[in-house]
Amino acid sequence: MRFKAPKGTYDVLPEKAEKWEFLEEAARSIFKIYGYRPIETPIFEATELFARGIGEATDIVQKEMYTFTDKGGRSITLRPEGTAPIVRAHEEHGMSQWPQPVKLYYAGSMFRYERPQAGRYRQFYQLGVEALGSNDPALDAEVIILLLEYCRSVGVKEMDLLISSMGCSECRSSYIEALKDFARERISKLCPDCARRFEVNPLRLFDCKNPACGEVLAGAPKMIDYLCDGCRVHFESVKGHLGKAGVGYKIDPTLVRGLDYYTRTTFEVQSGYLGAQNAIGGGGRYDGLAEELGGAPAPGIGFALGIERLAMAVEAESGKIPGEYELDVFVVAVDDSVRVDAFMLAQRLRGEGLVAEMDYLGRSIKGQLKLADKLGARFAAFVGPEELAAGLCRLKNMVTGEQEDVPLGGAPAYLADKVFEEPVK
């Protein structure tokens, strides 16, 4: 038997992991510029947190959670998303006493038992932000712009921003009545899943991927036509802020997204380069979630994006993500008598911040040079008995073939000057 990564999961091999590191570092630095601070929450939580937070009728809770009973008899779930855990942490640590709003960002794996396909996995990696403690529409605009700015900064050029408003608990209930009236008359045309959705939470009808249900629902009433005055003013203000900032958007009244906690603003950033799973990221406001989870009221807004889809979009558009491995110096030991000296030179090169590598398999000089070439080393540094006796080290520029002898003691600083001053061609 040969083991393989479980269905819907994958190994992130170095070449890809380096690109992801680049994307994640870019995210962390722009999130910080906008005032967000890092937070990490456990990978698993009490099942009830997600069932209550995301909503009993959602596909995530109904079908996609990795849930198990631990040895203490507790029902535990691998986190399918990052917002409910952060709202839990907000309450648990009294963050409503911190300067408001509290702005946090996170990065980590999420787990959903979905049908795997390109851009959809069972373990995937999200980067996200949450801002808690204010319902100011400026914050909605900020979060949306942050998502767009980040994607743009790493090389996504063509994106569509879709926005909508889900209203509040008051206007939503009159809308749900209208939606129910509409769906009740057409229930026989809907799939069995939708019949269940109709009973538990009719808003979830919009999640159905069945084309026949989609056709029926195309004529359904739209939430944005039912917004109360407060929600309408809020949505107008969000649009006003976006307009002032020169951000283009489309209004998509069907943008309910797959989670029950959204109120007012919802948004999604899509790329035409991603195929069926075209949402790079999305999010929205969740003004009732903290209370739903048993805490004090705390309005909030956030987004999450999947690094897999972001990387796909960047590569499709820009061809390349920076961050790949670059070897500055390969230290060649000319014979066995100088292996420790070669080791010490590699250490000193690393001390200068150079990426230095050497041979660990007793290769011949030729073998070492072949490896240096394969690894793409910019320089080779030869350590040999004669050079050592003379206090020298021979450097070879692997691109031009030029060679020179330099004092061994000064070689690391000399090479560092060369490497850091001359950009790679």
Distance CA 200, CA 101 (A): 33
338-346 long-range contacts, Cβ below 8 Å, gap at least 24?
Answer: 338/383, 338/384, 338/385, 338/388, 341/383, 341/388, 342/383, 345/381, 345/383, 345/393, 345/408, 345/411, 345/412
When the beta carbons of 145 and 406 are compared against ligand AMP, the nearer one is 145
> Under the rule (CB under 6 A), what is the footprint of ligand AMP?
81, 112, 114, 119-121, 124, 126, 257-258, 279-282, 304-306, 308-309
- Which residues contact residue 199 at a Cβ distance below 8 angstroms, ignoring those fewer than 6 apart? none
Distance CA 406, CA 414 (A): 8
When the beta carbons of 95 and 280 are compared against ligand AMP, the nearer one is 280
When the beta carbons of 56 and 373 are compared against ligand AMP, the nearer one is 56
When the beta carbons of 54 and 380 are compared against ligand AMP, the nearer one is 54
When the beta carbons of 126 and 263 are compared against ligand AMP, the nearer one is 126
The residues that bridge with 102 in the sheet, in sequence order, are 132
Q: Closest distance between ligand AMP and the C-beta of residue 250, in Å?
A: 16
Closest CA to 371 of 383, 382, 357, 384: 357
When the beta carbons of 96 and 277 are compared against ligand AMP, the nearer one is 277
Taking a C-beta distance cutoff of 8 angstroms, is the pair 247, 148 a contact? yes
Q: Closest distance between ligand AMP and the C-beta of residue 122, in Å?
A: 7
CA distances from 64 to 195, 257, 363 (A): 19, 15, 51
Q: Closest distance between ligand AMP and the C-beta of residue 385, in Å?
A: 56
The residues that bridge with 270 in the sheet, in sequence order, are 160, 279
When the beta carbons of 115 and 189 are compared against ligand AMP, the nearer one is 115
Q: Exposed (0-12), middle (13-18) or buried (19+): which is 354, by Cβ within 10 Å?
A: buried
Residue nearest to ligand AMP (CB): 306
Closest CA to 325 of 374, 255, 277, 252: 374
E strands within 24-101? 37-38, 44-46, 67-69, 75-78
Q: Closest distance between ligand AMP and the C-beta of residue 186, in Å?
A: 27
When the beta carbons of 144 and 419 are compared against ligand AMP, the nearer one is 144
CA distances from 61 to 144, 164, 203, 382, 387 (A): 26, 23, 15, 61, 69
* Separation of first and last alpha carbons in the chain: 46
When the beta carbons of 111 and 198 are compared against ligand AMP, the nearer one is 111
Q: Closest distance between ligand AMP and the C-beta of residue 306, in Å?
A: 3
Q: Closest distance between ligand AMP and the C-beta of residue 324, in Å?
A: 23
What letter represents residue 122's amino acid? R
